[in-house]
């Protein structure tokens, strides 16, 4: 048994409880008790450590990122979704050359240093499977399904099966196979049906980019605009949408998906997402760069969504640090009290990220029975702790995953 303590423990439970001079008593599998450090010191302990002038939080979950785009630093066009997507298609191959592995490794190390212990990796090609399976991170490995061309569907189905099979070899307490649907505009109906069937039968977590842009909305509503031209230019096809927004959502019944972005969803659609027991993941910096928009947070909270925050990939961001992400959100959503918002943002990368998850991982709260995954930050403040953590921390002083201190570098 181990005991780790600090001046403040942010439990990240629903009421954002804080324990002063608190301790976490744990073994490799789970937290056994959380209480005042002094009280826990009387228990049977193999090793103990108290971090002076520090704060401990559950370590962070970055539930939506694209590690395979780790090499981007300036090749893609920002400020207009259509121009960005065009630039992704044009530059994709050059972003995935032989130095990609090194770049992915570098970004994993940086994430660990910034207090992230769990990621949702959207894998478009499977290039990231090994590097992630061999990392200390917990990983929801989202095999991404994309493809609009009818002729390609049999090949894409085969490839999906093969990727799921490969991924299953790595399944462990830290590595969880999952499926991502790229979006309602980019997946052929037959392929979608197949992917959803696998997700249902295997009870896999499911993620989808959903209503990220005005362009997507216009295409799904009217079959017109940027995407009409896009399919003509890149696929030489006079396509019509595979789904209406409603018929796409109907297909997700019973799957409790993660909806990523939902920037342009209306009230009815949000209600439908709620009924599907969907979770909303917001990536504010990506949304600003690609769509000049931010998720209306008050509307989400008022509709009962515990919004999860993530960074998206380096294809639409300048770092994969959640502390950077939350700092931007803290400045951007100026209608809230700063400490209240800071707490909600922290919950969005801890507690909310793991609520009712399909993999049965009890994480994101410092609580008995939960995994001993936590981060220690140097911080000398005595009040507005959530706010000061987001404002003043760049890196964690220490990170524990499964009760073990991660040594990176
Ligand atoms: C496709 O691969 O079919 C596709 C990719 C991006 C956007 C739309 C379709
Ligand atoms: Fe994304």
- Whether the pLDDT of residue 57 is over 60: the answer is yes
Quote the DSSP letter at residue 257.
P
Question: What mean pLDDT comes out for the span 204-211?
Answer: 98
Question: What mean pLDDT comes out for the span 238-247?
Answer: 97
Residue 68 alpha carbon to ligand 1 centre in Å: 17
Residue 82 alpha carbon to ligand 1 centre in Å: 12
What the block records as the tokens of 187 is 């997946």
What pLDDT, in 10s, does the model give residues 9-30? 999 999 999 999 999 999 989 9
- Residues that are catalytic: 212
Question: What mean pLDDT comes out for the span 390-397?
Answer: 97
Beta bridge partner(s), residue 55: 8, 377
Going by pLDDT thresholds of 50, 70 and 90, the confidence category of residue 135 is very high
Question: What mean pLDDT comes out for the span 234-246?
Answer: 95
| Ligand minimally distant from the alpha carbon of residue 210 | 2
- Whether the pLDDT of residue 216 is over 80: the answer is yes
Residues 4 and 24: their CA atoms lie apart, in Å, by 5
Going by pLDDT thresholds of 50, 70 and 90, the confidence category of residue 87 is very high
Which segments within 245-366 are labelled E, that is strand?
258-261, 279-282, 308-309
What is the phi/psi pair of residue 14, to 5°? Answer: -60, -30
Q: Are 192 and 251 in contact (CB under 8 A)?
A: yes
Phi-psi region of 33 (alpha: psi -120 to 50; beta: other; left: phi over 0): beta
Pocket of ligand 1 (CB under 6 A): 146-149, 185-186
Atom of ligand 1 nearest to the CA of 149: 3
Question: What mean pLDDT comes out for the span 242-246?
Answer: 98
- Whether the pLDDT of residue 151 is over 80: the answer is yes
Q: Of the residues 182, 195, 233, which should be mutated to test ligand 1's pocket, given the most ligand atoms within 8 Å of the CB? A: 182
Neighbours of 5 (CB within 10 A): 26
What the block records as the tokens of 6 is 């600090």
Going by pLDDT thresholds of 50, 70 and 90, the confidence category of residue 408 is low
pLDDT the model gives residue 31: 98
Q: Strands of 374-378's sheet, edge to edge?
A: 31-36, 18-26, 2-10, 47-58, 374-378, 398-401, 404-405
Question: What mean pLDDT comes out for the span 170-177?
Answer: 97
Q: Of the residues 84, 124, 145, 146, which should be mutated to test ligand 1's pocket, given the most ligand atoms within 8 Å of the CB? A: 146
What the block records as the tokens of 214 is 């005005």
Q: Are 373 and 118 in contact (CB under 8 A)?
A: yes
Q: Are 160 and 177 in contact (CB under 8 A)?
A: no
Beta bridge partner(s), residue 177: 141
Going by pLDDT thresholds of 50, 70 and 90, the confidence category of residue 407 is confident
Quote the DSSP letter at residue 371.
-
Residues 214 and 208: their CA atoms lie apart, in Å, by 16
| Ligand minimally distant from the alpha carbon of residue 191 | 1
Name the pairing type of β-strands 398-401 and 404-405.
antiparallel
What is the phi/psi pair of residue 110, to 5°? Answer: -65, -40
Residue 230 alpha carbon to ligand 1 centre in Å: 9
Domains of the chain: 2-58+363-405 (2.30.40.10), 61-332 (3.20.20.140)
What pLDDT, in 10s, does the model give residues 217-230? 999 999 999 999 99
Name the pairing type of β-strands 47-58 and 374-378.
antiparallel
Residues 270 and 278: their CA atoms lie apart, in Å, by 9
Question: What mean pLDDT comes out for the span 292-301?
Answer: 98
Residue 148 alpha carbon to ligand 1 centre in Å: 6
Average predicted confidence (pLDDT) for the chain = 97
Instruction: Identify the residue whose tokens are 């959207």.
Output: 122
Largest interatomic CA distance in the chain? 73
pLDDT the model gives residue 277: 98
Q: Of the residues 145, 186, 233, which should be mutated to test ligand 1's pocket, given the most ligand atoms within 8 Å of the CB? A: 186
The verdict on pTM exceeding 0.95 is yes
Residues 6+ apart with CB under 8 A from 25: 1, 2, 3, 31, 32, 33, 34, 35, 40, 43, 45
Question: What mean pLDDT comes out for the span 378-397?
Answer: 97
- Whether the pLDDT of residue 160 is over 60: the answer is yes
| Residue identifier of the C-alpha nearest atom 6 of ligand 1 | 186
What is the phi/psi pair of residue 119, to 5°? Answer: -130, 150
Cβ < 5 A residues, ion ligand 2: 312
Going by pLDDT thresholds of 50, 70 and 90, the confidence category of residue 89 is very high
DSSP percent split of the chain into helix, strand, coil, nearest 5: 40, 25, 40
Number of helices (H) and strands (E), helices first, in the chain?
16, 15
| Ligand minimally distant from the alpha carbon of residue 215 | 1
- Whether the pLDDT of residue 409 is over 70: the answer is no
Question: What mean pLDDT comes out for the span 84-91?
Answer: 97
CA angle centred on 31, ends 30 and 37, rounded to 5°: 155
Going by pLDDT thresholds of 50, 70 and 90, the confidence category of residue 178 is very high
């Amino acid at each position: 048994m181990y005991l780790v303590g600090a001046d403040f423990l942010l439990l990240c439970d629903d009421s954002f409880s804080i324990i002063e001079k608190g301790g976490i008593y744990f073994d490799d599998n789970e937290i056994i008790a959380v209480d005042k450090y002094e009280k826990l010191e009387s228990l049977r302990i193999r090793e103990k450590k108290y971090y002076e002038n520090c704060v401990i939080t559950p370590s962070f979950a970055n539930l939506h990122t694209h590690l395979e785009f780790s090499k981007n630093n300036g090749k893609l066009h920002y400020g207009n979704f259509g121009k960005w997507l065009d630039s992704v298609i044009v530059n994709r191959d050059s972003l995935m050359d032989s130095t990609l592995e090194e770049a992915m490794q570098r970004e994993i190390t940086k994430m660990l240093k910034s207090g992230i212990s769990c990621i949702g990796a959207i894998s478009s090609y499977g290039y990231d499977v090994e590097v992630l399976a061999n990392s200390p991170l917990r990983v929801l490995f989202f095999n991404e399904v994309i493809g609009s061309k009818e002729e390609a569907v049999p090949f894409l189905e085969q490839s999906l099966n093969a990727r799921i099979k490969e991924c299953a070899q790595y399944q462990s307490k830290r590595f969880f196979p999952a499926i991502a649907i790229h979006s309602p505009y980019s997946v052929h109906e037959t392929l979608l049906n197949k992917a959803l069937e696998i997700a249902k039968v295997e009870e896999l977590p499911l993620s989808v980019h959903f209503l990220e842009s005005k362009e997507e909305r216009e295409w799904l509503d009217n079959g017109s605009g940027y995407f009409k031209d896009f399919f003509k230019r890149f696929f030489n096809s006079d396509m019509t949408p595979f789904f209406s927004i409603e018929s796409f959502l109907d297909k997700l019944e019973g799957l409790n998906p993660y909806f990523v972005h939902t920037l342009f969803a209306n009230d009815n659609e949000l209600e439908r997402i709620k009924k599907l027991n969907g979770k909303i993941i917001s990536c504010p910096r990506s949304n600003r760069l690609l769509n000049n928009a931010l998720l209306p947070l008050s509307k989400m909270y008022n509709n009962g969504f515990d919004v999860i925050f993530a960074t998206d990939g380096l294809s639409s961001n300048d770092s994969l640090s959640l502390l950077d992400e939350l700092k931007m959100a803290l400045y951007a959503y100026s209608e809230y009290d700063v400490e209240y918002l800071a707490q909600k943002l922290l919950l969005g990368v801890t507690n909310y990220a793991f609520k009712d998850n399909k993999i049965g991982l009890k994480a994101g709260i410092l609580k008995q029975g939960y995994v001993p995954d936590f981060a220690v930050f140097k911080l000398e403040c005595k009040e507005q702790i959530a706010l000061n953590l987001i404002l003043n921390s760049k890196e964690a002083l220490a990170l524990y995953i499964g009760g073990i201190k991660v040594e990176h570098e």
